[in-house]
Amino acid sequence: MIDFQKVIESIYVELKDDINRGEIASYIPELSTIDSQNFGIHLKHIDGNSYSSGDWNIPFSIQSISKVLSLAFVFPIYKDTIWERIDVEPSGNPFNQLSLLELENGIPRNPFINAGAIVIADMLVSHFDNPKHEFLNFIKDLTNDQTINYNYDVAKSEQRTGFRNYAAANLLKAFDNLENHVDDVLDFYFHQCALELTCEQLSNAFFMFANHGICLQQKKRLSQSQAKRINALMLTCGFYDEAGEFAFEVGLPGKSGVGGGIIAVLPNHFTITTWSPGLNQKGNSLIGMKALEKFTTKTNLSIF
Ligand code: GLU
């Protein structure tokens, strides 16, 4: 029997004073003020137990991690028609790269690069009168936590500086892969990225991916097959152009965001979230990746 609390604490102690912490994302000005010393880990086991260490209870900007949750929200609504508008291949390119989108006629490589997530956002804007409200309720429901909210300053900050996202959305529109107005779709997209959750809330929100589509409140949110497919996408496309490295070092499906969060899943076992805002050159949390590598090495638990 693995003592998860002991393992997590030992990893926290080994890494908390590491001086090599990476760079805080500054291209979204509002994110640049976060203290790089923050570091938290939280594990939610499907048996209901939780284990944590460090700053696991401080809300942070989940950024691209939200792309998995927006996909999970549209999947039961649009089903496999999603894949007529978005592919399921790793891009091997940065999250905001545009040239591939042009070359491939406006079909984003996968739902976790920005262009793909913008198409998912378009589906939500088409389906709901108030998509921001509905998406927030979905997250509150998944976590059973009514306190979760968007950080409106972060959303505004991105609205002011997200030129590449405007470019991607316009390109999608030019290729007829966006039904709604660019501004409406990006308004939703910037808010979903600006959601703030703690490590614990994220572990809880992702519980359904470890539990065949059934969330923490025991509601069936995804079919078993849909949960499987999203886990496959996290493994192959969840870490920008470092998905191979993450699979190699850690060996779990997961997703990172430029706010410094990483969520990883071992189906049938647990979800684990780390948060440390300093990023490596590929945009993934430096300490978070180290922590998860140590975790799967020490516990011998991975999908491989
Ligand atoms: N909102 C960020 C952007 O669109 C998300 C980036 C990320 O976390 O990968 O640039």
- CATH number of domain containing 51: 3.40.710.10
Domain of residue 93: give its range: 4-299
Best of 91, 114, 172, 256 for a ligand 1 pocket test (most atoms within 8 Å of beta carbon): 114
Residue 287 counted as domain residue: yes
pLDDT tens-digit map of 105-122: 999 999 999 999 999 999
3-state helix, strand, coil in the chain (%, to 5): 50, 10, 35
Distance 25 CA to ligand 1 centre (A): 10
pLDDT tens-digit map of 224-257: 999 999 999 999 999 988 999 999 999 999 999 9
Q: For atom 2 of ligand 1, which residue has the closest CA?
A: 63
Q: Is there a catalytic annotation at residue 298? A: no
Closest to 241 in 3D by CA, of 128, 127, 113, 142: 113
Calpha distance 91→87 (Å, rounded)? 10
Total number of residues shown for the chain: 304
Distance 63 CA to ligand 1 centre (A): 5
Calpha distance 50→177 (Å, rounded)? 42
Q: For atom 6 of ligand 1, which residue has the closest CA?
A: 64
Residue 304 counted as domain residue: no
**259, amino acid identity:** G
Q: Is there a catalytic annotation at residue 78? A: no
Residue 97 counted as domain residue: yes
Calpha distance 91→240 (Å, rounded)? 8
Q: For atom 9 of ligand 1, which residue has the closest CA?
A: 64
pLDDT tens-digit map of 136-157: 999 999 999 999 999 999 999 9
Place 193 in a pLDDT band, splitting at 50, 70 and 90: very high
Please determine, for residue 99, whether its predicted confidence score (pLDDT) is greater than 90. Answer: no
CB atoms within 10 A of CB 137: 13
Residue 273 counted as domain residue: yes
Number of domains within the chain:
1
Task: Please state the atom number of ligand 1 nearest to the C-alpha of residue 158.
Answer: 1
Task: Please state the atom number of ligand 1 nearest to the C-alpha of residue 193.
Answer: 1
Three-state SS at 10: helix
Are 89 and 110 in contact, with CB atoms under 8 Å apart?
yes
Residue 220 CB contacts under 8 Å (≥ 6 apart), including other chains: 213, 214
What's residue 94's pLDDT? 73
Q: In which element (H, E) is residue 149 found?
A: strand 149-150
pLDDT tens-digit map of 38-94: 999 999 999 999 999 999 999 999 999 999 999 999 999 999 999 999 999 998 877
Task: Please state the atom number of ligand 1 nearest to the C-alpha of residue 27.
Answer: 10
Distances from the Cα of 161 to the Cαs of 38, 119, 180, in angstroms? 25, 20, 21
Q: Is the CB of 157 under 6 A from ligand 1?
A: no
Q: Is the CB of 260 under 6 A from ligand 1?
A: no
